[in-house]
Amino acid sequence: MIDFAQPGYFALGALVLVMAAGSLYAGAWRRRARDAFAGPQTSRWGDGGFWLRSLLFVAAAGLITTAAARPQWGTTETVRERGGVDYVIALDISKSMSADDVAPTRLQAAQEELVRLVESERGSRIGLVVFAGSAFLRSPLTSDAKAMTQLIRRAGLETSLVRGGSDLGAALNVAGVILAASEDERGKAVLLVSDGEDHAGAYVAEAESLAARGITVLTAGVGTQSGAQLYDQVFGGSLVPKLDENDQPIISRLDESSLMQIAAITGGRYERISSDARDLLSLQIDLRSLDSAPARSEHSIVPIERYQLFAAAAISLLLVGWFLPARLALPRLRRVRPHPALAMLLLALTLGACGGDDESSLEARNQEANTLFAAGDYSGALALYQELLAERPDIDELSFNAGNALHRLQSYERAVSTTSRGLPPRDAELGVATYYALGNHLLQLGRLEEAYIAYRQALLLDPADVEPKHNLEVVLRLASSQQPPQAQQSPGPDGPQAPPGEPGEEGTPAPGEQQGPSGDPNADATPQGETPEPGETVSNDLPGTPGATPSAGTGVVRTLAEALAGIDDVVTFEEAIEILDLLRERQQMPASRPREPSSGPDY
């Protein structure tokens, strides 16, 4: 069974047909010109060499076209030995990291060094946490170095994900949660990059907790002892000095003592990033020394490429045609008149023998699964998607499709794990659809905090996408309400469903639908897709603040509840603005956490 990895290259066959037609025209013109020049005696001259050379060149062009389409048949199992460790980068993005005592700024210098470190890694899995007054999980453990470097370069644009201030303990806590989810035997570490300022005082307890679990913390300080003045950017882009309560300029300095203390507690090492010394590659030795597990073998089954055979055959035909004499002294060639359609016939036979059954290709099989999905046969579609995933686990679209089928079968836990295989995304458009679908799966499980993060990730990739933006606001409503609404399964759209595989199509609940708990389209808006099961308890806490309880913001919550209860079929512009302002105020209310005091000023 022959398959083609790039069947689109068969469009070049049109050029092969043009070559064949050109050869026929050149042969006829050649005969007419020869008769006009030499007369009847040319009938004794053989032209078998010209026709044979033309046939060889056209056949070689057909073989090159076939080779470009990458014919494949048979499979082989590849085994790759991989070593490395699991470590999480905790990057400080607080206001003080904008100081310019390390050129161009502390944050940019730290980003450059982290990118160099990540690009030089081989086999390690890396996660990313950004923090200021709070910490935010930016990426779970991944071996995709290219995606990680892009996230590190964009860290300075994501200050809205965290509160103001500086809390080293929060960064260590979130990094420890990421590493706790890894069951691999490889070594584990945290790389904390900061200027050392801390306003919470919880980092000692967090460092001792990590040390008790065998996790090493390597620290890197960014800045100088003399420090630099901080500035605020005002309207128009101009900078004004940042002042303290005594109207004195605020000077931010590198605090190495906290970073050294964290490294000492966990058995790690401290490095400084400054204008004179800014090389984090030396930490690779420390990271590699943590890997006590033997090298791991990764097995994968891939199809065998066979384009080499067609390319070699084409080169052989070109060489034979190149050295073929113009006139062949072969009686048979002189007596046998070449038929003009001979070249076309041989070309058709060659391409026909190499052309596999299109229905057996991956694209055709995926389309077959999409057809089953559209017909409502989700079990049959899931079986085909899983079969394709076993053959080509590197195609993220298959994970997305299989997750959609599991969602329709109400197997939401499996839908979450299957869809997550396609993350982090290689393509922004597919990434938006994947994070959006993941958020819908998590919402069905009542995991509002994780659904909130998934929708936020979709919006970070495409801020203009209205579907995840709507669901994000609805998740905030559910998290803010005192009593969860009694929800039911929202019915799917009537009529035939579009096959999954493209963002925004059927597979997860249809985007853009708003339906209340009772099924009435005019009732209160619910998330796009499935709503929580009846009787499930929805947390009152905001996503991203586990364990938080309403305190000083009770009045805001009550006002928000009254405003939401007053929504009817028609909402005025002013009412919508008021509700969104209340949601934003409720989201920004500080959560009380027993393990840390409230953060100090952001500088």
103-141 per-position pLDDT tens digit: 889 999 999 999 999 988 777 889 999 999 999 999 999
pLDDT of residue 32: 81
pLDDT-derived band at 328, boundaries 50, 70, 90: low
CA distance 57 to 63: 10
- Hey, is 241 helix, strand or coil? strand
> Is the model more confident about 590 or about 510?
590
Q: Is the pLDDT of residue 521 over 50?
A: no
What was the pLDDT predicted at 143?
85
Give residue-wise pLDDT tens across range 146-202.
899 999 999 988 888 888 889 999 999 999 999 988 777 678 899 999 999 998 889
* Contact indicator for 439, 458 with CB cutoff of 8 Å: yes
Confidence of residue 63 (pLDDT cuts 50, 70, 90): very high
Task: For residues 528-535, give the mean pLDDT.
Answer: 36
pLDDT at 530: 40
In the chain, % of residues over pLDDT 70: 68
Average pLDDT score over the chain: 74
Q: Does the pLDDT of residue 541 top 50, yes or no?
A: no
Cα–Cα separations (whole angstroms), residue 352 to 194, 348, 356: 64, 6, 8
pLDDT tens column, 407-426:
999 889 888 988 888 888 77
How far is it, in rounded angstroms, from Cα 230 to Cα 362?
57
249 DSSP 8-state letter:
B
pLDDT value at residue 514: 34
Share of the chain above pLDDT 90, in %: 23
Which amino acid makes up residue 116? R
Alpha-carbon dihedral 550, 556, 557, 563, rounded to 10 degrees: 180
Give the N- to C-terminal CA distance of the chain in Å, as an integer. Answer: 65
Rounded Cα–Cα distance for residues 253 and 107 (Å): 14
Residues β-bridged to residue 126:
87, 142
What mean pLDDT do residues 90-107 have?
90
* pLDDT at 124 (0 to 100): 83
Instruction: For residues 36-42, give the mean pLDDT.
Output: 65
- Whether the per-residue pLDDT at 312 is higher than 80: the answer is yes
Kind of pairing, strands 86-92 and 125-131? parallel
Q: Please say whether the dihedral angle defined by the alpha carbons of residues 507, 513, 514 and 520, taken in this order, is positive or negative.
A: negative
pLDDT at 594 over 90: no
Q: Which two tokens stand for residue 20?
A: 């064949």
pLDDT tens digits, 332-386: 434 444 444 444 545 455 544 444 444 457 788 888 889 889 888 998 889 888 8
Q: State the Cα–Cα distance between residues 475 and 526, nearest whole angstrom.
A: 9
Alpha helices in 280-306 (DSSP H): 283-289
Claim: this prediction has a pTM higher than 0.75: no
Strand-pair partners of 4: 71
Output the pLDDT for position 477.
Answer: 82
Which has the higher per-residue pLDDT, 487 or 20? 20
